[in-house]
Structure 1
Amino acid sequence: MVHLPNTPTREREIKLSFLSIMDIWSWICELPNLDDWSESPVFELVSSGQADQDGSTQSVHLRADRTSGSESEAAVIFTVCLQGFPPLNAEKPLWVSEKCHVSRENPFLPLIVQLVQEIIALSPNAPNSTCPRAQLQKLKPEPIAWVMDSHSLESFSTFFNLVFILRLFWLCACDAPNEAGSLYFQSLLPSALEIVSSSPLPVLRTFLVTVGIDTELCFMRTLGYVVAKLCIFRELGVGLQVLVPPPCRSPGFSYSTEAHGVWALKGYASMMTMMKVASSDGLKPQIPRLDAKESVLKYALAHQQLEALVQLEYSVAFNDGFIQVLARIDNIRLHVAKLGFKNQNDEAEYGEEKHFPSRVRIWVGPEVGATYVGGLSLSRSTGNAEKEVEIQKIVKGHFQNLKLSKGKAVARTSTKTKMKNWRMDQEAEGNGAIFDAVLYDNATGQEVATGRPYGETSDDPIHGLRRRYVGANRPFTKTGSVVLAGDEYGEEVGWKLSKEMEGSVLKWRIGGEFWVSYWPNQAKTSFFETRYVEWCDEVDLPLIPGKMIV
């Protein structure tokens, strides 16, 4: 269980340089020669400026210690230490690294591999997930070594800072005194996550592509869990609102790739970082009554993360007077992962309550202002739903053998309409092709992303998405995911390009808007909301006959 940081009784001055966190890796790389060490070098991560009654200052620092041995076996061990925290107030080791042999190539590679491996092993559970966590095979050092060698010191320093802060989260939140956790949440974590949310990290993208999808999921779910905790603490007001602007309205993290004739866009967004576009909170009085059950529900919903994958297949054909570029949806996979642990109290009562994808809008096309595109062709007509009309006639009457002779005819007409939960459309905006998928409530016919369940003033609103993860006609998988394959969107879309572009590698835009909604599934509550996030990136389009860039 993660400790909630204590609200300070008085404002404490946090001695922390925003840039100092960025220098952790530089400090490690610039450690002096082991022969010149008169004492163990110390890097102060964070310190409170307020001294206690005995004159000591609370701090968290990283210490480098030389191990005994010959010069050829000289090694460094790093230790995270607490200083000035009760009950002893003396220096207390909190974490110890493996040996880093300075005589070897990439001497500090074991440190980074250990940090990443421990982050994976401690990643939160997602029910029914195959993310292997601790069962994941030992992380191979070669991919991380390649990431280190392919980026500058400054770029890799930012990535190392993120990895170190994520590992420090579990140490300060679970294994340290409450005061240390409070100091961590008030200083180190907001600053580090602000770096991630303010600009994309190229090294993080390279790392995720290199280490594989299993490690990627575990790593990003840990990051999502940490962000969720920070956002919750901010909303509770535990002294964090006076610090740096929160990363709780950031677009999450996304990146794109191009390989083997496929464009891919991946994105991760912790639920509370997504922009709220509709909610039952706006329908309540200005001073709402305190609802304990709704608070527990919101707490459970906050520990969720949208995981999106968009894959488009593309092909290039070279004709006499032009170049034909074709693209089609291969897969759109949207999953809302529940980030928690099996012993969480909300799991029993709200295990089936979660956000679900309610709309996705994907666009792909040439860069803005491109003049080499001659035209865009779509392949799907606007839907014209068919209706089945059933006419039933009933005739009633009396005949001659009865005393009264009269007749009566009654005609009844019924209409049957075939409806799907999801409606797919293709559109165009300039030279960009747009693929749109919208979820509808079959009970009312309204769009879920912009609507609300019927009877929102009741504790048990009525709508057609209750028990949405069971039954043969459910609009989601049993785990709450949505898979939209190419057969739902029709054939490919196409662009005609100038022949002069042959032999070049163009930049193609790919992006998406994603909506997730919460409507009650089994719980009796009037709470609902819809959240939104947008991602956009560029991918390569190689126009080289007989050659594909990977």
Structure 2
Amino acid sequence: MSSSSFPDVFCWIQNLPPISEWETNSISLNICSSTTSQPFLNLTISKTHESSKLSFIIVADFNNIHIHLWTSKPFKPNSKTINLLDQETIPNLFVNFIQDILHYGSNKNNPFIRIPKLDSDPNLPNIFNLTFFTLLFLVCIYESPRDLRDAFIGVLKDHLTSFQSRQASKLLMKLLGSNLQEQWMRSMNLGITNWVGELEEQYQNMFRTPCSLLSYAFSTFGMWKVQVYCPAICMDVEKSESHPRERLQFSLKYHQVESVFQFNYKADVKEEWVEIMVNVDNIRCDVTKLVNDSLVKERGAGAGEKHFPSRISLQLTPTRQDQVVSLSVGKSTDNPKKEIGSDKGIEASIEPSTHIGLKVSSGESTTVSLKPWKFEQSVYGYSANMNWFLHDSMDGKEVFSSKPSKCALINPKSWFKNRYSSAYRPFTRQGGVIFAGDEYGERVWWKVDKSAIGKTMEWEIRGWIWLTYWPNKRVTLYNETRRLEFREIVNLDVA
């Protein structure tokens, strides 16, 4: 079933006939079919028994066996006009969809949802449909029988990652605001984690990164913003040692990456060209649990056993390069200071027999100042590359590409032990990292031909995030590094 084959649910609901014209107690719309003729899903509006109210129901039809998977809150039909639904029903149903999506997450409290009036918004049908099919995606994961899930998850995922759905997703995320957006993505990614974990070998490729379901990009005047939400289970394993025990595996599995990349840009018109300057405003990367504390305590290895960011890499590239003249970066290659000292000593001893023995010893000590995070810029063609590497404070090696020794893994004084409470931690107390303009605000800039003035240029922001697990409080030899990739397009008006 292609993305274009999915029905316009909003339009169907808007045009439902009044109850007086119904021939039966319900009306149905086929909303999703599998690749075979059976099974299929229907959205049904039905009269509530012993009441004048109506409800929407998602029904799975499998060999003429009807299975109710989800039911909306009941509502009263409109009795004042010929339309079945009044003006309040659509917004209330929209909020009903959002609430039930969020309830599939680990936070079971009723979130406060205030949606602005959407009556005159031309994007309302697309946003409404996207919200409904997101709910349907989660309903299929959690409520449908196993053989039905296999039939629908793939086609729904393809629909949610289509161009039209992605455009609607960006509008919906702005509508929800950042706090609800994070809850929304945690609900989605908990569902994906449960689904992939159930049939990991067969279905992991379905959500491998880059996956447009897991990232968003926004362009506004003077700023670009990319948000990435990726379950750990969907990241590629780059290296691993040993095998985790069940409780540790549970803890590592039920986390996701939450990252925000914010850039400021400016177009400065010069006499001979236009300078497009871009600098880092904020880069934030957190590893957040997808389940509640009680479940982590019951089935996991503790809240402190989770991955940590070990490398972040970004590549900014103008998609059309015929108007680009040059690219410059603002950070030089590091030239670290090294302090070398010489210690000399003389030891003398007198042998009681016949002679005096002298022992002379000398040595050198080297002191190097090393920050845990190292930032580098580089250029490839007209692509500006930015890299942040975490280094082992003991031997200076890059963490993402190395592994700790067995002695370090069991040594309680190793730098990665109790890493979220140490005064020398290279993370926030929650286990994330923040790179802000105070230390990492170096700019990159492109010189562009003046013929670009008045036009909109596209930039591709491509990124990679590495997460590493080394034991925190747990005594284990297991360690691993995972990697995700994302790609987004942002716009820049050359004025």
TM-score of the pair, normalised by structure 2: 0.83
Contact 1:197 1:247 in 2 (8 A): no
Contact 1:47 1:59 in 2 (8 A): yes
Contact 2:196 2:233 in 1 (8 A): yes
Alignment equivalent of 2:123, drawn from 140, 144, 150? 150
**Structure 1 residue 512 displacement after superposition:** 1.2
Quick one: distance in 1 between partners of 2:269 and 2:40?
65
Alignment equivalent of 2:274, drawn from 295, 319, 323? 323
Quick one: distance in 2 between partners of 1:335 and 1:412?
45
- In structure 1, runs of 5+ residues without a counterpart are 1-16, 49-56, 69-73, 126-132, 173-179, 282-290, 545-550
Quick one: distance in 2 between partners of 1:510 and 1:91?
44
Alignment equivalent of 2:208, drawn from 236, 249, 255? 249
CA 1:420/1:347 → structure 2, altered by over 3 Å: closer, same or farther?
A: farther
State the partner residue of 2:6: 22
Alignment equivalent of 1:350, drawn from 302, 320, 326? 302
**Structure 1 residue 234 displacement after superposition:** 0.1
Quick one: distance in 1 between partners of 2:452 and 2:31?
52
Alignment equivalent of 1:426, drawn from 362, 370, 377? 377
Give a deviation string over 1:99-123, Cα, whole Å, max 9, x none.
2643534743321211102322442
Quick one: distance in 2 between partners of 1:37 and 1:373?
63
Quick one: distance in 2 between partners of 1:21 and 1:109?
25
In the alignment, structure 1 residue 136 sits paired with structure 2 residue 111: yes
State the partner residue of 1:285: none
Contact 1:519 1:527 in 2 (8 A): yes
Partner amino acid, structure 2, of 1:210: L
CA 1:416/1:91 → structure 2, altered by over 3 Å: closer, same or farther?
A: closer
Between 426-435 and 194-203, the greater mean CA deviation after superposition? 194-203
State the partner residue of 1:287: none
State the partner residue of 2:81: none
Alignment equivalent of 2:57, drawn from 69, 79, 103? 79
Quick one: distance in 2 between partners of 1:314 and 1:106?
42
**Structure 1 residue 93 displacement after superposition:** 8.5
State the partner residue of 2:334: 383
| SS of equivalent to 1:363 | strand
Quick one: distance in 2 between partners of 1:21 and 1:463?
56
In the alignment, structure 1 residue 264 sits paired with structure 2 residue 245: no
**Structure 1 residue 225 displacement after superposition:** 0.2
State the partner residue of 1:204: 169
Quick one: distance in 1 between partners of 2:395 and 2:190?
35
State the partner residue of 1:95: 71
Contact 2:281 2:441 in 1 (8 A): no
Between 326-335 and 411-420, the greater mean CA deviation after superposition? 411-420
Aligned length: 474
Give a deviation string over 1:469-516, Cα, whole Å, max 9, x none.
121111111111111112333532222222222222222222211111
State the partner residue of 1:213: 178
Alignment equivalent of 1:63, drawn from 44, 58, 66? 44
CA 1:525/1:30 → structure 2, altered by over 3 Å: closer, same or farther?
A: farther
Give a deviation string over 1:441-465, Cα, whole Å, max 9, x none.
2223322222222239988899642
Aligned pairs for 1:410-421 (under 5 A) are: 410-421=361-372
**Structure 1 residue 139 displacement after superposition:** 3.0
CA 1:454/1:225 → structure 2, altered by over 3 Å: closer, same or farther?
A: same
**Structure 1 residue 221 displacement after superposition:** 0.5
State the partner residue of 2:317: 365
Aligned pairs for 1:411-490 (under 5 A) are: 411-455=362-406, 464-489=415-440
Quick one: distance in 2 between partners of 1:93 and 1:248?
24
Aligned pairs for 1:179-328 (under 5 A) are: 180-183=144-147, 185-196=149-160, 201-235=166-200, 241=202, 247-252=206-211, 253-280=214-241, 294-328=245-279
Quick one: distance in 1 between partners of 2:429 and 2:189?
22
CA 1:247/1:139 → structure 2, altered by over 3 Å: closer, same or farther?
A: farther
| SS of equivalent to 1:474 | coil
- In structure 2, runs of 5+ residues without a counterpart are 79-83
Give a deviation string over 1:337-372, Cα, whole Å, max 9, x none.
11002331556633211111111111223224x122
**Structure 1 residue 426 displacement after superposition:** 0.6
Contact 2:226 2:262 in 1 (8 A): yes
State the partner residue of 1:3: none
| SS of equivalent to 1:452 | coil
In the alignment, structure 1 residue 36 sits paired with structure 2 residue 21: yes
**Structure 1 residue 156 displacement after superposition:** 5.5
Quick one: distance in 1 between partners of 2:174 and 2:380?
31
| SS of equivalent to 2:403 | coil
Contact 1:377 1:495 in 2 (8 A): yes
Partner amino acid, structure 2, of 1:77: S
State the partner residue of 1:163: 135
Contact 2:130 2:169 in 1 (8 A): no
Partner amino acid, structure 2, of 1:31: L
Quick one: distance in 2 between partners of 1:387 and 1:300?
41
Quick one: distance in 2 between partners of 1:500 and 1:62?
53
Aligned pairs for 1:40-55 (under 5 A) are: 40-43=26-29
**Structure 1 residue 440 displacement after superposition:** 1.7
Between 427-436 and 224-233, the greater mean CA deviation after superposition? 427-436
| SS of equivalent to 1:201 | helix
Contact 1:257 1:539 in 2 (8 A): yes
In the alignment, structure 1 residue 392 sits paired with structure 2 residue 373: no
CA 1:494/1:335 → structure 2, altered by over 3 Å: closer, same or farther?
A: same
Q: How big is the alpha-carbon RMSD for the aligned residues of Structure 1 and Structure 2?
A: 3.8
Contact 2:375 2:386 in 1 (8 A): yes
Quick one: distance in 2 between partners of 1:497 and 1:47?
50
Contact 1:380 1:490 in 2 (8 A): no
**Structure 1 residue 528 displacement after superposition:** 2.1
Partner amino acid, structure 1, of 2:22: W
CA 1:185/1:343 → structure 2, altered by over 3 Å: closer, same or farther?
A: farther
Give a deviation string over 1:404-442, Cα, whole Å, max 9, x none.
999765434211111121110011111221111111222
